[in-house]
Structures are given as C-alpha cells and as structure tokens.
Amino acid sequence: MNVGAILKVKGHNVVTISRDATLQSAVTMLANKKIGAVVVIGEDGGVVGILSERDIIGAIAARGVAALSETLTQTMTAEVVTCDEQEQIDSVMETMTSGRFRHVPVLNSGQLVGIVSIGDVVKTHIAEVEHEAEALKAYLSS
C-alpha cells in the first residue's frame, strides 16, 4: 500500500501555521486540534518548516517561557523531510525510524496535499499484515 491509500481514508486536511506566528499561538493550535505537529508555511503557501511538541519542549527547556513570545523560525525544523502519494508505507516507516520523527508531510508537485503520522502508518501496516495472515490461513485451509 502507498501513502495515497492512507490519505484516501484520513483525508487531505493539514493543519498549517505561518512562520511569523508566535510559539504561543502554535501551542494553542496543537492543544485545540489535539495534534502533535504543525506544518509551517511561508508567504507563498510553501512548506518552510515543521514544528512538533518535542521542539516546543526543547525551546522552553533552553529559554524558558520567554520562548513562547518568539516566532516559529527560532524553534521549527527548517529541513523538512516529505514524501509523495506514490511512496510505499514501508518506505515511510523506514524514513520515520531512521530520522527519529513521527510526522511526514505529503507533497504533490510541491503542493501540500496531506500529512501522515506514525500512528497512521503503523495502523495501516498492521491492517496489511493481518489481511495477509487471513489470506494465508484461508489458502492453507482450502
């Protein structure tokens, strides 16, 4: 299965925030939406970074609550690893494991079309493995 199959089920909605926003507004957004990361976009709507709860903890540990008044550029990760809808789920799992992150934005010709989290990927992977096991059982008992 590929990333497009996950997006077909979960939808293409991505929560984004401007890079000029404050860390405080990102914290409020993550809390209200009950999500762990937000994609940061520039003036032209392109992806310029990603901010996860881990970054926020790091910023507060380093600079205290004063970090909450800073703009996101000081805290976000600017080198964003992305994937496309054709990428296989196993490959995205490998990317997340080796990069030690849990979110990957999905781009189609440079346009943001979705985001997959480790939860989405693991859930789909388990469903795939269970489906294969059922098919094998049916084959063996036939």
Q: Which residues bind ligand AMP (CB under 6 A)?
A: 36-37, 50-55, 77, 79-81, 101-104
We find the least distance from the C-beta atom of residue 79 to ligand AMP, in angstroms, to be 6
Minimum CB distance to ligand AMP, residue 141 (Å): 42
- Which is closer to ligand AMP, CB of 50 or CB of 67? 50
11 φ, ψ to 5°?
Answer: 95, 175
Q: Which is nearer to ligand AMP, 88 or 135 (CB)?
A: 88
Q: How far apart are CA 89 and CA 8, in angstroms?
A: 14
> How far is it, in rounded angstroms, from Cα 36 to Cα 133?
32
Nearest-Å Rg of the Cα atoms of the chain is 18
Nearer to ligand AMP, 48 or 103 (CB): 103
CB of 113 to ligand AMP, least distance (A): 14
Q: Residues 71, 96: contact at Cβ < 8 Å?
A: no
Q: What is the β-pairing status of strands 16-18 and 37-41?
A: parallel
Q: How far is the CB of 1 from ligand AMP (least distance, A)?
A: 20
Residue nearest to ligand AMP (CB): 52
Taken in order 121, 127, 130, 135, the sign of the CA dihedral is negative
By C-beta, is 5 or 107 nearer to ligand AMP?
Answer: 107
Nearest alpha carbon to residue 14 among 125, 91, 114: 114
Q: Least distance (Å) from ligand AMP to the CB of residue 14? A: 12
Using the minimum distance from each CB to ligand AMP, give the nearer residue, 13 or 142.
Answer: 13
